[in-house]
Amino acid sequence: MYPFSAPNNYNYSFLSTISALSKFYSLTVLNLKFDRDVKTGTKLKLVLIFIAIFFVQTDVNAQSDSTIQRLKELLNRSQSVENRLRLTLLLSEELYKPTPTQALEYANESERLAKSLGADSLLNRAYISQATAYISMGDYPHALQLLLKSIRAAKKNGDSHLLFSAYEMTGILFYFQNDQKRALQYFFKALEQYSIKKPTHNKQIERKAYLLNNMGILYNQKKMYTPSAYYFHEALSLAKHLNNHELIANVLNNQGTLYADQGKTDTALKQYLEAIEIRKRNDHKWGLTQSYISVGKFYYKLNDYNASETYFKKAIETARQIESLHYVGVSSFYLFQLYKQKGDYKHALEAIELSKKVNDTLYNEKRTREIGRLETQFHLDLKQAELAAKQREKNLYFILAAASLGLSLIVATLLFYLQKSKVRSAQLEQANLQSEKKNLEKDIELKDKELTTQVLHLVHKNELIHVISEKLLEINHNLDIKSRMAVQNLITDLQSNLQPELFEEFKLRIQHIHEDFYNILNKKFPNLSSTELRLCAFLKLNLTTKEISAITNTSVKSIEIARTRLRKKLNLTGTDQNLIIFLSQLDQTQARN
């Protein structure tokens, strides 16, 4: 078993597609307006740097350190979150091939910044940058998860350009997983999105050309030569329209492989050599290395070992110039097989030793990269765990705050209803008191009427007795002594029926009905005599002077004099205050006070 198996040359074309994808994103990001806090000179320098990136073909395995360093310097100086977001996206796109772990770190920072700004479009670009880094690291599950997330978001926002990019990258991912069927499905989806909107600049047309080139590669691997030839032809037409020499050479090289697989050796060689000439003119050594390997394999299959050896040695030479250990390993491996077929075991041993040496170095690099990936993933998982813990803590605070608020609302509601209940109870109590007061007032009024009726009945009775007594006294003088004695006895009996003790009963009833009346009188006017208190009671019942005179069996004049004395004791002398009204309101005024 050999140290490693030589990969399919078509993988190089797919790597070129990822490189073009990175450049497309760089242009898209640059087309976005920068904030005013970046000086005009700084903007111009940044644009010039990336114009150089777009139009000067460089080795994808050895990105410009000066460009990356300049981007880092700009990032360190920038205070704007929006500018930092765009710079981290550019750094991620520049670093995905040489150091994918760093590219992932910048892509993760881009995601964080995009979320803080609420920029959905840039957030989806951050997801694609993360996916690109994961593909370079060989972590396809994470890459697929991010690509599917960006596809869902792009569908929701109706972003056809972003959908094109996400579908194309997903197709490339499935290609690297040897799932040609699903790779083609996503390439067709990308092509469908491309047709929705007209391209706004040449880089979008270039993206379509790379997509068509990849579709041609897949169909050729499936030995479906007719559609493969069609897509290569379409890709070549677009490449020539763009005058993109490296893309033209790339498609020509792939066409050479297609014709070689069909047995059309002359046409295949013609395409290979034309691609080499274009790459020589443009001094594109990375592309030249690919072409040399392709032609070396072509001659190897034709058993033309001398020509094959020449091209594999050229491939090793240019690979060393661009410091590509990968291509050195591939070429030396093919040389080992070639020398073994020729029986040149000395050179075969040298070739396999070179292949093993390169393979060991690449393995160490791969292992270092894997360790870096695992370390990055560990830190990412740790960061996500910290964020999750912070989110749980925030949720807990939110729940506690909500519970406190809810409890406060419940307490406030209970207090409100309790206060409302108290007010309602007070209102009911007040209403009951008012009702009771009215009932009492009605009761008092009724009893006053009853008492007045009784007093009036007593008045009529006394008046009748008085009249009869007066008449008997008038006729008593005209009678004989015997009759006079009889009449006098009759008068005495009649006057005894006046029942003066009835007034005491009357007083008790007055006190029962108006229990505070006498207390108030005695308290406010302690110098009132019993006769004056009795007069006050009669006046309280609104009796006239004549009626009081009849009840008390005194003259009207005596009652009037008694009223005058009473007004003086009640401090009403010299005022317009009515005596009866004053007495009737006396206990009511005291009750209000």
* Segment 28-58, tens digit of pLDDT: 333 333 333 333 333 333 333 333 333 333 3
Tell me the DSSP string of 467-506: HHHHHHHHHHTTS-HHHHHHHHHHHHHHHHTT-TTHHHHH
- Per the confidence metrics, is the pTM higher than 0.75? no
Q: Compute the distance between CA of residue 317 and CA of residue 312 in angstroms, rounded to an integer.
A: 9
The model's confidence at residue 460, banded by pLDDT at 50, 70 and 90, is low
pLDDT over 50 (residue 469): yes
522 part of a folded domain: yes
511 part of a folded domain: yes
Contacts of 183 (CB under 8 A, 6+ apart): 171, 172, 173, 174, 175, 218
Q: What is the amino acid identity at position 458?
A: L
Q: Average pLDDT for residues 107-114, to the nearest whole number?
A: 90
350 part of a folded domain: no
The model's confidence at residue 254, banded by pLDDT at 50, 70 and 90, is very high
Question: Domain limits at 558?
Answer: 499-592
Q: Compute the distance between CA of residue 276 and CA of residue 246 in angstroms, rounded to an integer.
A: 10
pLDDT over 80 (residue 187): yes
Q: Average pLDDT for residues 447-462, to the nearest whole number?
A: 68
Q: What percent of the chain has pLDDT over 70?
A: 78
Render pLDDT for 515-540 as a digit per residue (tens, 0 to 9): 677 888 888 888 988 888 888 888 88
172 part of a folded domain: no
570 part of a folded domain: yes
pLDDT over 50 (residue 548): yes
Cβ(10)–Cβ(221) below 8 Å: yes
What sections of 32-64 are H helices per DSSP? 40-55
> What's the pLDDT at 46?
34
Q: Which of 32-46, 70-84, 352-366 shows the lowest per-residue confidence on average (mean pLDDT)? A: 32-46
Cβ(382)–Cβ(375) below 8 Å: no
Contacts of 143 (CB under 8 A, 6+ apart): 130, 131, 132, 134, 135, 173
Beta-carbon neighbour count of residue 388 at 10 Å? 10
Burial of 581 (0-12, 13-18, 19+ CB in 10 A): exposed
Q: Average pLDDT for residues 219-246, to the nearest whole number?
A: 94
pLDDT over 70 (residue 343): yes
> What's the pLDDT at 507?
63
Q: Long-range CB contacts (< 8 A, 24+ apart) of 365-369?
A: 365/325, 369/100, 369/101, 369/137
The total number of structural domains in the chain stands at 1
pLDDT over 80 (residue 513): no
Helices 305-321 and 285-301: angle between axes, nearest 10 degrees:
160
517 part of a folded domain: yes
Contacts of 173 (CB under 8 A, 6+ apart): 131, 135, 140, 143, 144, 147, 183
> What's the pLDDT at 174?
92
Task: State which of 307-321, 377-391, 422-436 shows the largest mean pLDDT.
Answer: 307-321
514 part of a folded domain: yes
> What's the pLDDT at 327?
83
Task: State which of 86-100, 140-154, 312-326, 497-511 shows the largest mean pLDDT.
Answer: 140-154
The model's confidence at residue 488, banded by pLDDT at 50, 70 and 90, is confident
| Assigned token pair, 335 | 């040389």
> What's the pLDDT at 463?
66
Q: Which of 105-109, 269-273, 370-374, 447-451 shows the lowest per-residue confidence on average (mean pLDDT)? A: 370-374
Q: How far is CA 541 from CA 422, 423, 525, in A?
A: 41, 39, 19
Q: Compute the distance between CA of residue 213 and CA of residue 221 in angstroms, rounded to an integer.
A: 13
Closest by Cα among 590, 540, 539, 528 to 565: 528
pLDDT over 80 (residue 592): no
pLDDT over 80 (residue 305): yes
pLDDT over 80 (residue 183): yes
Q: Which of 445-449, 477-481, 492-496 shows the lowest per-residue confidence on average (mean pLDDT)? A: 445-449
